[in-house]
Amino acid sequence: MAEILVIAPHPDDAELHAGGLIARHRQAGRSVVIADATAGELGSRGDAAQRLREAAEAARLLGVERECLGLPDGGLSVADREQRAVIVAAIRRHRPRVVIALAEQARHPDHSALAGLVRQAIKAAALHRLPAPGDHPAWDGARLIWVEAELPLQPSALVPLDTACWASKMAAIRCYASQLAGGSGPPTSISRPEFLEWIEARGRVWGQMAGAPYAEAIVGAEPLLIGDLVGS
């Protein structure tokens, strides 16, 4: 059982967009699991095996458990019931209090598709007669929170982060050397030298608004409750 389940489209998405939030929950002693929907096998740089090693190292640094759900990179579809069933199974298996996923406001088709799948799976996981792999019992105790993806978000709340949490986030991101500047392969938005500067700047802007060194932006798929997040 995990208190927090982060469902991300590809290895590195959890760290890029919710790494500080994850670090803050771990700092508070809460259990966190990252479930990567895909292995990122269609990525322009690196291969699935390399990204798996990078993801494992990032998880080690953050102090979290991690698994890959084995869904097809580039093929996520909000209309695919089998894909939804895999996510339902993950929710039932881990029985989280909070599920964190990338917001639907995203440019990457896998990001927006997974957001829709997770939105459906939160309710579907509570349906006792709905089958899913593993035959775990239904679970209706999870609340869904979106974290800002690659497009700007109008947040419901900001999660303040101290410098230690931010340093943990950036260290985990840097595990993905195959994807960042200095790696080999065709140029991508992530491999540009200024990409990490943008991540840093976004965190500082939200932090200034939150009265903290850094912050990450979230939206409640349902109204946020006191206690949904550390420090809320």
- Is there a contact between 6 and 18 (Cβ–Cβ < 8 Å)? yes
- Is there a contact between 121 and 110 (Cβ–Cβ < 8 Å)? no
- Sort 6 into a burial class: Cβ within 10 Å, 0-12 / 13-18 / 19+: buried
Q: Confirm whether 226 is domain-assigned.
A: no
Q: Confirm whether 93 is domain-assigned.
A: yes
Q: Confirm whether 228 is domain-assigned.
A: no
Q: Confirm whether 227 is domain-assigned.
A: no
Give residue 232's pLDDT band: very low, low, confident or very high (50, 70, 90). very low
| Max avg pLDDT among 102-106, 201-205, 227-231 | 201-205
pTM for the predicted model, two decimal places: 0.95
Domain holding 150: CATH number? 3.40.50.10320
Number of separate domains in the chain: 1
Q: Confirm whether 229 is domain-assigned.
A: no
Q: What is the mean pLDDT of residues 159-171?
A: 97
For 217, phi then psi, to 5°, come to -95, 135
Q: Which residues of 29-40 are buried (b: 16+ CB within 10 A; e: fewer)?
A: ebbbbbbbbbbb
Q: State which residues form the domain around 108.
A: 4-220
Q: Confirm whether 182 is domain-assigned.
A: yes
Q: Confirm whether 99 is domain-assigned.
A: yes
Q: What is the mean pLDDT of residues 43-67?
A: 94
Binning the chain into helix, strand and coil, the percentages to the nearest 5 are 40, 15, 45
On the question of pLDDT at 228 being above 70, the answer is no
Neighbours of 59 (CB within 10 A): 23
